[in-house]
Amino acid sequence: MYYPTYHCCTLYPPTGPGLVFIVYPTALSVMPYSAIWSVLFFFMLFLVGIDSQFCTLEGMITAIIDEWPHLFRHRRQWLILALFAVSFFIGLASVTQVS
């Protein structure tokens, strides 16, 4: 897969996060049942992103509740909602033309 795509044109495959969206879909497109594999692959990427977001925010939530237990012990759901909303809008600003 690497040789025909990149050696014939003297191109080099990208490095970093772009590799996931360029090289892997090309490799999946030549496999049998490529549509199913592609859906599964990108669904897996979505789940990995969501899981990393949960881990990051759970660490912040625990730290905030441990620092101010008298304020947030019984309001944990509101703290979670506020942190997820703030992180959503920061993420939205970073993927649109606003930033």
Binding site for Na(+): residue ranges?
A: 51-52
- Residues annotated in a binding site: 51-52
Q: List all residues 6 or more positions away from 50 whose beta carbon is below 8 Å from its beta carbon.
A: none
Residue 40 CB-half CA count within 13 A: 7
Candidates 85, 75, 79, 78; CA nearest to 61 is 79
Q: Under a CB-based contact definition with an 8 Å cutoff, are residues 41 and 52 in contact?
A: no
Q: Under a CB-based contact definition with an 8 Å cutoff, are residues 76 and 61 in contact?
A: yes
